[in-house]
Structure 1
Amino acid sequence: MVRDRGNGQAFIGSFTSSGGHGIIAAEVDDETGALTVQGTTDVVADPSYLALAPDGSVLYTVSETEEGAAAAFRIPAPGAPDQALLLMGRPVAVSGSSPTHLALASGHLLTANYGSGSVTALPLRSDGGLDAPARVFRHQGSGPHPDRQCGPHAHQVLTDPSGRWIVSVDLGTDSVRVCALDAASGTLTAHSETALRAGSGPRHLAFHPAGSHAYVLNELEPTLTICRWDARQGVLEAVAETPVLPADAGTDSYASEVVVSHDGRYVWTANRGHDSISVLSLDGTREKAELITTVGCGGRWPRDLALDPAGRRLYAANEHSGDVTWFDIDPRTGIPAPAGAIEVPAASCVIFGRPAAPSSGIRAPEAVTEPYGA
């Protein structure tokens, strides 16, 4: 069930294999940020990560299973008699195992397949549904970690801010790859690869709103790698690395998600094990990040961290405690303060539907335009 009473909309993914309800549709109170669950669907197994079509009419999900699949749901228009999410055909195999992330680009849905260390491109039909065949780009390589880096493990795929390049982050090979996507065939062609520090285990990256830099969050060691991004050449250059946790944080922490504020002043990371959100400030060069503080994530094992479209709140999907907690961001300091939570068993990600206008606090620079959902 999806309803719209003038507020915003959010969709939450969860692991059905761990007791989650699948995809949860929620209303977002524009004034308070509070989530109200409107309905769920569990027709796709383990929909751990979601993406939204640019016009907001179709919701896409991976099925993070050994077989690996992706699916599309039609989102009903506000006021339609039937407000249920409609599965648009059967899930489509991605020809890769354990897909963990997805993105839209040039008429295709791309998935990062952690188990098989590959990126898949599935063509989109004219109605937004998924088609076949899948085109697969396979990563190569390994890293020094004896258990986690025996081979490639693509963990994230996304487009760069210019829309020209496909970027994939590989935890198993300690590298970030840049590819070109042929819109006609769906073929991905390797363009460049950036090696990061051996054993760091890069998981996700986020671009600065100006498009000039990217920040790579490392899972195997709780650090952030700061990179310059040259969209003209399609080249990522690592220039610095900084801890995202204090020195006394211990060793059992696995960073999961990185978010950059709309005004480019702050970076936030979610840290599993330490069960916290780190707040880092960026200097004017965008190449130096300073850890300001950490705050509790509101639960246990924050697998995802999402900024609302207005840039005023952060939402943490806490997988092991089974909740989504939201935080109000202090626009002067970037520090989030807990503001509420809802129960979501085995929560894995949060994305937002209809975008709201930026607030007067932390906001996007007027000179920068970003496609919604990028």
Structure 2
Amino acid sequence: MADTAGSGDDVVVRAFIGSFTSAGGRGVTAAAVDQETGALTVLGATDAVPDPSYLALGHGPGPGGSTLYAVSETEHGAVAALDVSGDAPRPLGGLRPVDGGGPTHLALAAGHLLTANYGSGSVSVLPVRADGTPGPVASVLPHTGSGPDRDRQLSPHAHQVLPDPSGNWVLSVDLGTDSVRVCGLDPATGELRPHEETALRPGTGPRHLAFHPAGGHAYVLNELTPTVTVCRWNAAAGALEPVGETSVLPGEAQDGDPRTYPSEVVVAHDGRFLWTANRGDDTLSVLALDATGERAVLVATVDCGGHWPRDLALDPAGRRLYVANERSGDVSWFDIDPETGTPRRAGSLEAPAASCVVFA
């Protein structure tokens, strides 16, 4: 998204940072992005949404042409819409309950806003109204099952929900059940219709998924083991098939202390590289993908620039990575070597309890 601030023809490219207000974060922060250096400059913020741990941009009718959506990752979960046409994000209406606990992720699909509710192990669907605000919950799909990790997998924990590249399916990644569910979404009613459930290796704790730009493969990042599961994706059939698993850490670091909890996976626009953020180890991993997208090989790890990297985002041009380091309270940016895919730290912005970074 591009927006214009001030006078003249100065164009300001925006980034939006979510952070935990309960841990001293600013809430939702808007920042200008210097397209030459990648540097972030705070424009404004709002703490009107409690613990907005994840954000998503959608198109709305406001002056800026866009609406920002945020989860409120609280016991009684909610979502909010914000007008981002000015410097400071401005709430559009109040919080809308999602009928689920602890939502950690949200996405837009077929005119609806969907949330992955970690605490209640479910996915909620809310219609997006003409003014860009979410309406009352249209449907809730509860997940069922458990996994072998008695500390983390006694029940379902939906961690991410997103549409596939074709727009015909919705996938939900569940850390508690070691599986990914594929559903159809009825655009008229907002009902999610289960299509299939793909089982991953028990105890891996899948957290987030990213698609290859060609659309034929998906990469599931696991939180309870530091690995990526490579899957074939058949959009015509709505079928996800695991074909391999690759560590995101060197062999000697896999069983290190402290334990590593990978958080986010990002794929390069040209499909040559895949990056992950790794909490505990506090690194970013670089994996090279072969021409088919089916083979991933770890080629490097670098320091994340802070502590506890909760989120990782690629800028719209595909030249830089931005890391939300939750516990050190910063967003750091890295220039990407176009030949090797290796990130090189270029700067940082103070951002207490940072949890998410999104770009248009």
- Aligned counterpart in structure 2 of residue 278 of structure 1, from 273, 278, 285: 285
The root-mean-square deviation of aligned C-alpha atoms, in Å, is 1.1
308-317 or 276-285: bigger deviation: 276-285
Greater strand proportion: 2
Q: Distance in 2 between matches of 1:50 and 1:84?
A: 15
Q: Distance in 1 between matches of 2:137 and 2:307?
A: 39
Is it true that 1:162 corresponds to 2:166 in the alignment?
Answer: yes
**Unmatched 5+ stretches in structure 1:** 77-81, 354-374
SS of structure 2 residue aligned to 1:242: strand
Letter in 2 for 1:300: H
SS of structure 2 residue aligned to 1:163: coil
- Aligned counterpart in structure 1 of residue 354 of structure 2, from 341, 347, 353: 347
* CA offsets 1:282-309 (integer angstroms, 9 cap, x no match): 1122111110010000000000000000
**Contact 1:21 1:40 (8 Å CA) reproduced:** yes
Alignment of 1:258-337 (within 5 A): 258-337=265-344
* CA offsets 1:1-21 (integer angstroms, 9 cap, x no match): x96331310000000011101
Q: Tell me which residue corresponds to 1:66.
A: 75
- Aligned counterpart in structure 2 of residue 187 of structure 1, from 181, 185, 191: 191
Alignment of 1:103-142 (within 5 A): 103-142=107-146
Q: Distance in 2 between matches of 1:145 and 1:247?
A: 22
**Contact 1:327 1:337 (8 Å CA) reproduced:** yes
- Aligned counterpart in structure 1 of residue 43 of structure 2, from 33, 38, 42: 38
**Contact 1:110 1:121 (8 Å CA) reproduced:** yes
**Contact 1:3 1:38 (8 Å CA) reproduced:** no
Q: Tell me which residue corresponds to 1:213.
A: 217
Q: Distance in 2 between matches of 1:174 and 1:115?
A: 16
Across the two proteins, how many residue pairs are aligned to each other? 347
Q: Distance in 2 between matches of 1:274 and 1:85?
A: 33
Q: Distance in 1 between matches of 2:199 and 2:261?
A: 20
278-287 or 172-181: bigger deviation: 278-287
**Contact 1:22 1:44 (8 Å CA) reproduced:** yes
Q: Distance in 2 between matches of 1:129 and 1:294?
A: 41
Letter in 2 for 1:308: D
Is it true that 1:22 corresponds to 2:27 in the alignment?
Answer: yes
Q: CA deviation at 1:86?
A: 2.2
Q: Tell me which residue corresponds to 1:357.
A: none
Q: Tell me which residue corresponds to 2:229.
A: 225
**Unmatched 5+ stretches in structure 2:** none
Q: Distance in 2 between matches of 1:339 and 1:59?
A: 27
Q: Distance in 2 between matches of 1:50 and 1:67?
A: 18
112-121 or 243-252: bigger deviation: 243-252
Moved over 2 A (4+): 2-5, 82-86
Q: Tell me which residue corresponds to 1:360.
A: none
Q: Distance in 2 between matches of 1:307 and 1:232?
A: 28
| Percent of aligned pairs with the same amino acid | 66
SS of structure 1 residue aligned to 2:224: coil
SS of structure 2 residue aligned to 1:263: coil
Q: Distance in 1 between matches of 2:252 and 2:331?
A: 27
Q: Distance in 2 between matches of 1:347 and 1:206?
A: 21
Report the CA distance shift for 1:182/1:343 in structure 2 as closer, same or farther (over 3 A). Answer: same
**Contact 2:78 2:98 (8 Å CA) reproduced:** yes
**Contact 2:319 2:335 (8 Å CA) reproduced:** yes
User: TM-score normalized by structure 1?
Assistant: 0.91
Q: CA deviation at 1:88?
A: 1.2
Q: Distance in 2 between matches of 1:54 and 1:248?
A: 46
* CA offsets 1:150-209 (integer angstroms, 9 cap, x no match): 000000000000000000000000000000001111110100110000000000010000
Q: Distance in 2 between matches of 1:94 and 1:229?
A: 29
Is it true that 1:176 corresponds to 2:180 in the alignment?
Answer: yes
Is it true that 1:98 corresponds to 2:102 in the alignment?
Answer: yes
Q: Distance in 1 between matches of 2:336 and 2:109?
A: 31
Letter in 1 for 2:79: A
**Contact 2:28 2:89 (8 Å CA) reproduced:** no
Q: Distance in 1 between matches of 2:88 and 2:215?
A: 37
Q: Distance in 1 between matches of 2:109 and 2:146?
A: 27
User: TM-score normalized by structure 2?
Assistant: 0.95
**Contact 2:169 2:185 (8 Å CA) reproduced:** yes
**Contact 1:95 1:134 (8 Å CA) reproduced:** no
Q: Tell me which residue corresponds to 2:55.
A: 50
